[in-house]
Amino acid sequence: MKTTIALALAAMLLGSVVTAEPGFGFQRTVEKGTLITLDLVRSDTGGRVDLTDINGRVMASQEVIAGANSNVRFQLDRNPTGNVYAVLYNANGEVVAERMLDRDIRD
């Protein structure tokens, strides 16, 4: 009986992970500096994430695989002065999720 309940619970939890929408975790800010880490990126097909500035200029890109990608790191050439925008593209190059990330500008 305990095994059946444990298996049912595991299947329910795994099912909710598998059916999660493509996008980003709960992160809303990134720290000051040229190294930016996104805590979680979910992709159905694999693809890439671009980090852009307010004008849409790509500052860095990183490939992601299908499923949950944790700690996706980006090395920027320069320290952005404003907010950063994360754009998730699927394997066909279509935008499937976007997120504005506030910059933590405290010293």
In tens, the pLDDT along 62-77 reads: 999 999 999 999 999 9
Closest-CA residue to 43 (of 14, 64, 73): 64
Cβ(59)–Cβ(52) below 8 Å: yes
Cβ(12)–Cβ(85) below 8 Å: no
In tens, the pLDDT along 4-59 reads: 565 555 555 554 445 579 999 999 998 888 999 999 999 999 999 999 998 999 99
pTM over cut 0.85: no
